[in-house]
Chains A and B, each alone.
Chain A
Amino acid sequence: MSELKYIGKTIPRPDSGDKAAGKALYIHDLSRPGMLYGKIKFSEHAHAKILNIDISQAQKLPGVMAVVTAYNTPEMRIGFLRDNFILKKDKVRQFRDEVAAVAAISEEIAEEAINLIKVEYEPLPGIFTPEEACKENAILIHENDPQGKPLKSNKVPVLFQHSSGDIEAGKKAAKHIVSGEFSTQWIQQSCMGTAGAIAEFDMNNNLTIWTKTQVPFLAQRDFLGFLPVLGLKEKNVRVIVPTLGGAFGTGLDTHAYEYICILLAYKTGKPVKIVYDRNEEFACLSPRQSSQTKITQGCDENGKLTFREIEVTQDNGAYTSWGATFPSVMLLPATSLYRVPNIKFHANIYYTNNTYCQAMRGYGNPEVNWALETNMDELAELVGMDPYDFRMINCNKSNETTPMGLKVTTCALDKCMESVANKLDWKHSRKQQSKFRGVGMASLFHVGGGGRIYKSDGTGMFLKLDDFGNVYVSHGGVEMGQGLHSVLKLGVAEALGVKPEKVFINQVDTNTCPWDVGTHASRGSFMAGNVTIRTANELRSKIFEHAKTLFPSLAEKNLKSFCKKNPSYEAPKFDIKEASQKGNFDLIDGYLFIKDAPKEPWLQVELGTLLRAIHFREQGTMLSAQAFYDPPNELPDWDKGYGNMSAAYAVGAQGAEVEVDIETGEIKILRMVAVHDVGKVLNPQTLKGQMYGALAQGLGYTLYEQILTKNGKILNPDFRDYKIPTFKEMDFPIDLEFVETNDVAGPWGAKGVGESGLCPTAPAIANAIYNAVGIRVRDLPITPDKVLAALEEKRKQNKK
């Protein structure tokens, strides 16, 4: 492969300049002429009948243009199970249920109107744990399914399971068996830029909505389902994505507030903006799914895993969103992290009156990884083996198919683990050179080549050339801070053969961009890169086709000018016409030349010159190209938990060195190391940024973050009491290393890695804590009081 010009280099991201100057426009900064402000009234109960909603006072308030409830608007069900309603009727099922909304000429008036709305409730008993939910005679949170059929239990009809090999045989073959129960908490994605949307109808009743979404086309589809409910037939929806202040999974579903925004825009005939403030973001936007995992693993006397059994229970909350499908991704580590011949996986999920949950980075992988990688250490201890050696014995290899049917192409997990061990001076550090210090490690296995969870995992691209050699990129992938625009800009420059400065990325707009399923599953760069290469090649073919006839005259013009400036110059003998006819061109940095021609400057034709020659003539034309890329992966059979859902897989390992303060229970991170098989580094700087950021989120998940609730009410809906890592929590050295395995499916060999960085962080730290002081906390987060309790428990045990 010829050397790459831009891919693999640290080149500043194209969007940084505007963002650093405060010029980038987020949803918070946008406004439309005549715009109204929307505000939502949320439920004051976790579970209650709605007896009455009195909106009369609110309607009378000057400046209020519309007040909506489920009682004066048509019903609209949302969510992939259609069990949620944009405005609640008859009963509320969680504290944040939307019972009314207002559009007014100012935010203050909207807020005042909300306070004037009086809702009468009849409280009902609430259910706040899956255990309560599945008790016999437990009150039903949903009495009927979306079709109106009565429901008999609070079990959510979403099934994920897997069974491969022979579990009983595996158990029999095991010499050592360890079981454990683990849990992960709700955490909040905590994007610095909160959620919001602006909806506006034109006079043809076509809708435009600017919204904080990662799935513009699925959102378009969702909103298209709403228009007929409003009585609008055959109207269109245009979704435009503004600059996002982070996303991390919050934009993978469409939310009630978006539909309410649309509803208010329709009712008033004016643009309506709804933006969540931080309290609403915490209390009324779905957090990351929580989980409970039971795991049992066994191995033979040589440390080879013989079976793995995992059962997951999830608290769905009141309605169903993507949190309920976390098990689809849990299947990855469950079936494919390390080689295990006999596997059983089952996930149950129950409605409760807690807040319903949605996606967040990692999407179930960190949850199961937490249990699995801790259990690996426990099993290693039972065998009397070093945890690193134990992992190496069971390490995945490249070019293997896992029990889930995942076709692993490249896999440098062994190299990653080896490097982590080296960086931590593993054998030496494990022996605890200093008291209360320890090291631990954990690995990960995740999708790296898209993730087919819909019928299509595809993405399109449209490239347009103008008269000046500029190329305009229309692509549906969403830049949310991860650096997608960098990949697009550099990828197009690389694949097409122009300078990055000539590449312009159009705003994501469903009117103009080709379809993309969504920026999730770490698929952004993988998809963008692959479709870029295909589209660029298409465009190059077109350019070269025209160059066959036009290149000679343009080159000759160049020669004339050149000779004028260099009278003594003698041009080498070369039949340009004949060479051009063969079409053996190349385009690099915006200059076209014949591949085997002499390297004379006049034999380079600037792209813009060629493009103008193509355009400005009789029967002239403009050049553009498009492609649609749908990767070679499969939609799994979820009943079986089987199918090659990605075209490539990301693997890696993390290690941590910690020091435990046994007086205060505080965990001090001394250093972290992370080694990831990324296929190919597309941009070292942005890749590092992604890894550092993911690690910080992993750290928060492990030690600091937790949404606390009491009877369904969130107790800490603000940054004062929901603590994410600050500069000072992240002040330890982080050693990052990227292994390049050049995956055949990846653009320039690259795999997707947006989520990998936080998958193994919790067990890496927990395993280090165990090495340091011999205790385990199995419920995240590992807070100081839990550490002290565990140390106290250990002291008592030692005394016996």
Chain B
Amino acid sequence: MKKFEYYKPKSLTEVWELKEKIPNSRFIAGGTDVMVKIKSGLLIPEALISLREVPELKNISVGKNIRIGAGSTITELIENAELQTAIPVLVQAARRIGSLQIRNVATVGGNLGNCSPCADTAPALLVLEARAVVRSDKNTREMPLQDFFTGPGTSCLSAKEILVELIIDIPSPQTKAISMKKGRVQMDLALASVAVLMETDGNFCKKIRVAAGSVAPVPLRLIEVEKFLENTEITEEKIKEAQRIAMESVSPISDVRTTADYRRHLVGVYVKNSIQSLMNGGRHEKRN
């Protein structure tokens, strides 16, 4: 392996200074993706710039809205009592990431920044309509998280931009949400994952957001399912139809992990089960 330098800037200003000095350097946060890529030879960095000790990235707060610093570790996210109360669906999804060892160092920003269609936090963040705040030394941008992902492994970030935080509007008290994920075994990348968020009044669906991962080039909202169910009376037939629409809304691939057909089927099942579960008042996954 080619040797490289490793820098530990203490502020965003330092980060950009380093990036300016070494344009071919790469950012590293928790390292659970970058280090694997380096080991396999997929990435041969000239230098690494660590974002671990940049305080501007570490803040988690629940106030007027919810702000999650991109440098927060998954464990920090999961253990944050305010997040557990305000947005339990994200905590639920984050719990399924890898192993405890991985969660202790992996970051929210890294999980998204890697731009894998399998990013475990993505479906939950999408249904929460999270906005991504992206900064360079010259500019700050804010965008719906959906726009952050541009393709498998690619984001909208330009060379000096960093994802700094996620902003989530505090969900209304009537909001309920659930996420589901399936791997081949319990510690695995998602074969398919789904998140559903709803606000209902009896059987009337006032609001619904549905998102899926590992079934398309990027994590995505299943807008057609949302359109079909929002502002309607939810019935078993409608849920069945929603399942069918969900299956048609995705474009999974076959790979070493499983077949496209199975992914497609799973998305449908999870959308159905998620909605049923939320309609029945449950917040927890049936089984997976």
Contact B258 A785 (CB under 8 A): yes
Q: Is A793 an interface residue (CB 8 A)?
A: no
User: In chain B, what residue has the closest Cβ to A714?
Assistant: B256
- A84-92, A584-592, A641-649, A716-724 - interface stretch: A716-724
> Which residues of B are in contact with A by a Cβ distance under 8 Å?
1, 3, 40, 182-189, 256-259, 261-262, 265-266, 269, 273, 287-288
Binary per-residue interface labels of chain A (675-715) against chain B in the complex, 1 for a CB within 8 Å, 0 otherwise: 00000000000000000000000000000100010000001
CA distance A489 to B188 in the complex (A): 41
CB distance from A717 to the nearest CB of B (A): 10
29 of the cross-chain contacts (CB-CB < 8 Å) are A111-B1, A279-B40, A661-B287, A663-B269, A663-B273, A664-B182, A664-B266, A665-B262, A666-B288, A668-B287, A704-B185, A708-B256, A715-B256, A716-B256, A723-B184, A723-B188, A726-B185, A726-B187, A727-B186, A728-B186, A728-B187, A729-B185, A729-B186, A783-B258, A784-B258, A785-B259, A785-B261, A785-B262, A788-B265
CB distance from B58 to the nearest CB of A (A): 28
Contact of B257 among A111, A665, A721, A727 (CB under 8 A): A721
Contact B262 A788 (CB under 8 A): yes
Contact A720 B1 (CB under 8 A): no
Residues of A contacting B186 with CB < 8 Å?
726-729
A664-B182, A704-B184 known; A720 vs B265 contact (CB < 8 Å): no
User: In chain A, what residue has the closest Cβ to B183?
Assistant: A723
Contact B185 A720 (CB under 8 A): no
CA distance A279 to B42 in the complex (A): 14
> Which residues of A are in contact with B by a Cβ distance under 8 Å?
108, 111, 279, 661, 663-666, 668, 704, 708, 715-716, 720-721, 723-729, 783-785, 788
Residues of A contacting B1 with CB < 8 Å?
108, 111
CA distance A665 to B287 in the complex (A): 12
Contact B256 A721 (CB under 8 A): yes
CB distance from B240 to the nearest CB of A (A): 12
CA distance A720 to B39 in the complex (A): 14
User: In chain B, what residue has the closest Cβ to A715?
Assistant: B256
Residues of A contacting B259 with CB < 8 Å?
785
Contact B256 A784 (CB under 8 A): no
CA distance A661 to B3 in the complex (A): 49
CA distance A668 to B182 in the complex (A): 13
Instruction: Please list the 6 inter-chain residue pairs (A to B) with the smallest Cβ-Cβ separation, ordered nearest first.
Output: A728-B186, A785-B262, A723-B185, A723-B184, A663-B269, A715-B256
CB distance from A670 to the nearest CB of B (A): 12
CB distance from A558 to the nearest CB of B (A): 59
Residues of A contacting B40 with CB < 8 Å?
279
Residues of A contacting B261 with CB < 8 Å?
785
Centre residue among A664, A666, A784 by max chain B CB count within 10 A? A664
Residues of A contacting B183 with CB < 8 Å?
723
User: In chain B, what residue has the closest Cβ to A785?
Assistant: B262
Besides A279-B40, A721-B256, A785-B259, 12 more A-B contacts (Cβ < 8 Å) are A108-B3, A663-B269, A665-B262, A666-B288, A715-B256, A723-B183, A724-B185, A726-B185, A728-B185, A728-B187, A783-B184, A785-B258
CB distance from A701 to the nearest CB of B (A): 14
CB distance from A710 to the nearest CB of B (A): 9
CB distance from A669 to the nearest CB of B (A): 12
Contact A664 B269 (CB under 8 A): yes
Centre residue among A665, A666, A716, A785 by max chain B CB count within 10 A? A785
Residues of A contacting B184 with CB < 8 Å?
704, 723, 783
CA distance A727 to B99 in the complex (A): 11
CA distance A668 to B185 in the complex (A): 11
Centre residue among B1, B182, B186 by max chain A CB count within 10 A? B186
CB distance from A136 to the nearest CB of B (A): 33
Residues of B contacting A727 with CB < 8 Å?
186
Residues of A contacting B288 with CB < 8 Å?
664, 666
CB distance from A651 to the nearest CB of B (A): 31
CA distance A715 to B256 in the complex (A): 7
CB distance from B268 to the nearest CB of A (A): 9
User: In chain A, what residue has the closest Cβ to B268?
Assistant: A663
CA distance A729 to B259 in the complex (A): 22
A111-B1, A663-B273 known; A725 vs B185 contact (CB < 8 Å): yes
CB distance from A777 to the nearest CB of B (A): 14
CA distance A715 to B262 in the complex (A): 19
Centre residue among B3, B40, B269, B273 by max chain A CB count within 10 A? B269
Residues of B contacting A728 with CB < 8 Å?
185-187
